Structure 1
Amino acid sequence: MRELGISIYPGHSKIEEDKEYIKLAAKYGFTRIFTCLLSVEGDKEKIIENFKETINYANSFGFKVVADINPKVFTELNISYNDLSFFKELGVYGIRLDNGFTGNEESLMSYNEYNLKIEINMSNSTRYLDTIMDYKPNKYNLLGCHNFYPHLYTGLGREYFRVCNQNFMKYGLVTSAFVNSQNATFGPWPVKEGMCTLEEHRDMPIEVAAKDLFKEGINTVIISNCYASEEELKKLGELRRDLLDLSVILVDNIPAIEKEIVLNTLHYNRGDVSDLVIRSSQPRVKYKDHHFQLFNPVDIKRGDIIIDSSLYGTYAGELQIAKKDIKNTGKTNVVGRVREEEIYLLDSIAPWEKFILKEIK
């Protein structure tokens, strides 16, 4: 199951504003909340009281709230890893260990009597998780979650991100990573240069970054900073989470059948892949009796969506998406184009991978 989440920081915001944000996110199908207990400075009783009120409100909408903590918090609040009743009373779904223990403590915590989830920091490529697994935890109570990086240029690179993911995915653990709102103004730390997991997502439209994370196999995509706009929440809520949906712009004069092929087909890349194009061949079978007129045989640019005309014989009706600039043979119609910000996603579409195309204006 794939989920969407938001973040709230009760120590840095007003309760009523957080509640409005939670209610709005629930409207668009969000089900997870990340919050931060790393800073418990000040009036601890007041801080905890505010956390409880906000978390109880979130729970009333069915949210699963995970609180970020570290060993220092255990000490400051006089909590033992053998007794997680404090977090049960707080109302959280689980706790995220920003910094870990030795592995045995995490394993023991996973068997807590309250069935609280124990979320492990994913943003490292050490054998930390393997050590926890060596201590035979209840893996059904273990989750993985990446860090976010507020400082420009400090987010993870993609290859390292994938290495970290593999450590968790090999055990079948539910994983999470962060995207940042371009509308948000604050997070838990003073630096406010975006709060993404992958550095390349920092200035990217939020829904494109989310598509990317889902495509990478991440289960839960969480907005890290506050507050995302309603438009951003709506765009995320409308995403297909089970497959890649690419946003496309169609040419003005596209015929009805070609438009139907683009927008009403479950496409998949052929197994015998090409370096130059992604091929969706089934439309040529479905519409084998249709005559495809030639109407826009212009040269083809990377990201263009093309459908072969009947001049191509048995290939007529096949949809392709160009991965590189190529010359048109004069038999193919350019019928649209993938949104510029999403073209890079074409490079990682695997053999037999399914995808859909959704029109934007």
Structure 2
Amino acid sequence: MTFRQLGLSIYPDHSNYEEDARYLDLGHKYGFTRIFMSMLEASDPEATKAKFKKIISYGNTLGYDTVLDVSPRIFDDLGISYSDLSFFADLGVSGIRLDEGFNGATEAMLSYNPYNLFIELNMSNDVAYLDNVLSYQANEPFIFGCHNFYPQVGTGLPYDFFVRTTKRFKKYGIHTAAFVSSAHGNQGPWNVNDGLPTLEAHRHLPIAVQAKQLFASGLIDDVLIGNAYASEDELKALSDLNRYQLQFDVNFVPDVNDIEKTIVLKPQHFRRGDVNALVIRSTMPRVTYKDVPNPAHDNTIEFQRGDVLIGNDDFGHYKNELQIALQPHSDPRKNKVGRINEHELGLLDYVHPWSKFKFENHQ
């Protein structure tokens, strides 16, 4: 089974060891297990090696897997041979990410390195790059994929392009990763930093919502924070989210009653397989709680997309069925019991026939 991981990024060429170590400690506290580290700015082999090895070694003691971002130019600048990855093995990394590709044959050969370093390919191009690498009989378990991030506002990937490029990797079962952006981080590889997301639509969203969409797409295994340093609140928010099913943040209405709170928060919800365009229906609560009274309230308004509804005592057979409104409509037999966080309304598109989902409440 491929487990979904959380990761963070540090930039030793723009930071100091003490700050980075504190950040790794904080990430470790919240269950982060991957480090992305850029070596694209490196120039002095010995100074680079000493600086990077110190923080990588510390990360290793905390159980992190570190991936170094490199390019063909870095191999040349540091005098590293493609046939000898001992430089990276000596640093203690788990893998290297190739920001730019070679010719397919080189990547395939790199995947047979004796140190078992995995080779992470750039996923953010809609070309048959991976097919080319695999056609040279690459060591497939050691081939990973990771998207780019985009420091300049307006330059992140559009969602449809992201889907096409990622599917090129997922069809082979390749482990994938993409970046989300911290609202607090101001550190990246370059001197422009408008955030560091993979998807442009994520640039100004709360970090947990960004991650929820990546996981909900079913296309991304690992979510990495692109910029440093994320706040502790952001690290905790990512740590708390459910990586394996959508969990909507719901705000209850003032008159919500105890049975409605129970219906929203307790069951394992799933959407009926015979879907409709008006509402998402979770029908098991009407069976489980069929004998529990539920008087009408907040039932004479027009419901809007994202409203969480439960059938009241006037709804007969459908009393205590939970629904999420997809289109505006009115029905006095339903109570509005809450509303999904406005930032998460787009995630409703990921609730497919038979999709499992849950709710959480932070009020």
TM-score w.r.t. the length of structure 1 is 0.98
Structure-2 separation of matches of 1:77 and 1:258:
63
In structure 1, what is the equivalent of residue 84 of structure 2? 83
Mapping for residues 190-209 of structure 1, pairs under 5 Å = 190-209=191-210
> What is the aligned counterpart of 1:274 among 265, 273, 276?
276
Q: Distance in 1 between matches of 2:278 and 2:297?
A: 22
Distance 2:84 2:72 in 1: 14
Residue 310 of structure 1 pairs with residue 313 of structure 2: yes
Distance 1:310 1:135 in 2: 65
2:325 to 322, 325, 338: 322
AA matched with 1:38: L
For 2:239 and 2:17, locate their aligned partners in 1 and report how far apart those are by CA, in whole Å: 24
Report the equivalent of 1:109: 110
Correspondent of 1:259 among 241, 258, 261: 261
Aligned to 1:151, what secondary structure does the other structure show?
coil
Q: State the Cα distance separating 1:308 from its structure 2 match.
A: 0.6
Helix, strand or coil for the counterpart of 2:81? coil
2: CA distance between counterparts of 1:252 and 1:19? 44
Secondary structure of the 2:281 match is strand
User: Aligned runs of 1:1-361 on 2, under 5 Å?
Assistant: 1-41=3-43, 43-217=44-218, 218-297=220-299, 298-327=301-330, 329-361=331-363
For the 8 Å contact 2:97–2:121, the answer to whether it is kept is yes
Work out whether residues 6 and 223 of structure 2, in 8 Å CA contact, stay in contact via their aligned partners in 1: yes
Instruction: Decide whether the 8 Å contact of 2:217 with 2:350 is kept in 1.
Output: no
Secondary structure, in 3 states, of the residue corresponding to 1:81? coil
Letter in 1 for 2:68: A
Which sections of structure 2, spanning at least 5 residues, go unmatched?
none
DSSP 3-state at the match of 1:195? coil
Aligned-pair CA distance for 1:183: 0.6
**Equivalent pair of 1:301/1:326 in contact (CA under 8 Å):** yes
SS at the partner of 1:181? coil
User: Displacement, 1:121?
Assistant: 0.2
Structure 1, unmatched stretches of 5+, are none
Asked whether the 8 Å contact 1:323–1:347 carries over to 2, the reply is no
One-letter identity of the residue aligned with 1:22 = L
SS at 1:355 equivalent: strand
Runs of 4+ in 1 over 4 A off after TM superposition: none
TM-score by length of structure 2 reads 0.97
Partners of 2:297 and 2:13 lie apart in 1 by 60
Letter of the 2:272 counterpart? R
Q: Distance in 2 between matches of 1:288 and 1:229?
A: 44
Bigger drift between 310-319 and 59-68 goes to 310-319
- Matched position secondary structure for 1:167: helix
Contact 1:251 1:335 in 2 (8 A): yes
Q: Secondary structure at the match of 1:48?
A: helix
**Letter matched to residue 307 of structure 2:** D
8 A contact 1:175–1:219 mirrored in 2: yes
Q: Which amino acid aligns with 1:190?
A: N
Contact preservation (8 Å) 2:42, 2:48: yes
Q: Kindly state the Cα deviation for residue 48 of structure 1 after the two structures are TM-superposed.
A: 1.5
CA distance in 2, matches of 1:219, 1:348: 16
The answer to whether the 8 A contact 2:104-2:132 is kept is yes
Counterpart Cα distance in 2 of 1:120 and 1:347: 29
Q: Say if 1:7 and 1:222, in contact at 8 Å, map to a contact too.
A: yes
CA distance in 1: counterparts of 2:144 and 2:324, whole angstroms: 37
How many residues were matched structurally? Answer: 359
